[in-house]
Structure 1
Amino acid sequence: MEQIIYRCFKTLKNHYIFDRHTNTIFPVTESEYKVFEDYLHGKNSDKTQEVLKKYQQFGLLRENQVTKIEHPSYKWIGHYAEHRLEGLTLQVTQQCNLRCSYCAYSGLYYNREHSSERMSVETAMSAIDFLLEHSDEMKELHISFYGGEPLLEFDLIKKCVSYVKEKVEGKRVTFGMTTNGTLLTEEVVSYLVAHDFSLAVSLDGSKKEHDSNRKFRSGKGSFDLIMKNLQYMKEHYPDFMARTSIMTVVSPNGNIADNLQFFHTDQVLADSNIMMNPLEETGLKEEVQYKDSFNLIRRYEYLKYLLFATSKLDKEYVSALVISSHSKMQQFYQTLHRQEIYSGTTHHGGPCIPGMKRLFVTVTGELFPCEKVSETAPCNCIGSLEKGLDIKKMKAMLNLGKLTEAECMTCWNLPNCKICVAQLDVSDGCESLCKEDKLKVCQEEKMRVMAGIYEMAVLREFNFHVEEREAGI
Structure 2
Amino acid sequence: MKHRVTMRFTTRQGNSYLYDDVTSMIFPWSGMLENILKLLETTETAQLLANIPEEYAAEEWIDKVHWVDYWKNNLGAFYREEWKDSPLSYDNFEAELGANLTNQLILSVTDDCNLRCKYCIYSDEYALTKNKTCNYMSTDTAQKAIDYFHKLIAPQLARNPRKKFGITFYGGEPLVNFTTVKYAVEYAREKLGDKVYFMMTSNGLLLTDEVVNYLKMHDVGLAISIDGPEQEHDRLRVTVGGGGSFARIKKNVDRIREKHPEYYRTRVNAVCVYDFLTDVEQTEQFFEDGERDTTVPRAIFVNRVSDTNSCYYQKFSKEDIQQYHDREKRLRDKYFSQKTCGCSSSSYLTSLIGSSALSIITRRRALDGKPAYMPATGSCVPGQKLCVNSNGVIDICERVNGTNPIGDVHAGLHTDRVIQMVSNFRENIAASCDKCPGQKLCGLCFVNFETEGAFRKQKEICANHLNVMRNNLSLYTSICEDKPDAEFIFSSDTIELDQPLTTF
- TM interval, shorter chain, is 0.7 to 0.9
Would you say the 8 A contact 1:256–1:297 is kept in 2?
Answer: yes
**Percent identity between the aligned chains?**
27
1:104 aligns with 2:121: yes
Q: Name structure 2 gaps, 5 residues minimum.
A: 52-61, 158-163, 491-504
Alpha-carbon RMSD:
3.4
Within the candidate set 373, 376, 379, 1:351 is matched to: 379
Deviation per CA, 1:311-359, whole angstroms, max 9, x where unpaired? Answer: 2x632xx4432123446624523537x55489996812412222333x1
The within-5 A match list for 1:243-282 is 243-266=267-290, 267-270=293-296, 272-282=298-308
Deviation per CA, 1:242-271, whole angstroms, max 9, x where unpaired? Answer: 231101111322333432332222345356
Matched residue, 2:22: 21
1:309 Cα deviation after fit: 1.8
Counterpart residue identity of residue 351, structure 1: S
The within-5 A match list for 1:273-422 is 273-288=299-314, 289=316, 290-311=320-341, 314-315=343-344, 318-324=345-351, 325-326=353-354, 329-330=357-358, 332-333=360-361, 335=363, 338-340=365-367, 347-357=375-385, 359-375=386-402, 377=403, 380-397=404-421, 400-404=425-429, 406-422=431-447
TM-score by length of 1: 0.84
Matched residue, 1:432: 454
Change (3 A) 1:214 1:258: same
The within-5 A match list for 1:113-124 is 113-124=131-142
Counterpart residue identity of residue 373, structure 1: V
Counterpart residue identity of residue 456, structure 1: Y
Counterpart residue identity of residue 165, structure 2: L
Change (3 A) 1:256 1:368: same
Counterpart residue identity of residue 383, structure 2: G
User: Within 1, Cα distance between the matches of 2:338 and 2:324?
Assistant: 21
Higher helix share: 2
Within the candidate set 143, 147, 160, 2:184 is matched to: 160
Within the candidate set 211, 214, 232, 1:188 is matched to: 211
1:63 Cα deviation after fit: 4.8
Deviation per CA, 1:378-433, whole angstroms, max 9, x where unpaired? Answer: xx21011233211233245556445455522222222222321122142xxx2333
User: Within 1, Cα distance between the matches of 2:371 and 2:300?
Assistant: 41
8-17 or 181-190: bigger deviation? 8-17
Matched positions, count: 455
Matched residue, 1:137: 155
1:52 Cα deviation after fit: 5.3
Within the candidate set 192, 195, 218, 1:172 is matched to: 195
User: Within 1, Cα distance between the matches of 2:303 and 2:389?
Assistant: 24
Would you say the 8 A contact 1:354–1:369 is kept in 2?
Answer: yes
TM-score by length of 2: 0.80
User: Within 1, Cα distance between the matches of 2:362 and 2:151?
Assistant: 37
Within the candidate set 46, 50, 56, 2:69 is matched to: 56
User: Within 1, Cα distance between the matches of 2:76 and 2:457?
Assistant: 33
Would you say the 8 A contact 2:279–2:324 is kept in 1?
Answer: yes
1:193 Cα deviation after fit: 0.2
Change (3 A) 1:148 1:29: closer
Counterpart residue identity of residue 67, structure 2: K
Matched residue, 1:225: 248
1:195 Cα deviation after fit: 0.6
Structure 1 residue matching 2:325: 3-state secondary structure: helix
Change (3 A) 1:268 1:405: closer
Structure 2 residue matching 1:212: 3-state secondary structure: helix
1:236 Cα deviation after fit: 0.6
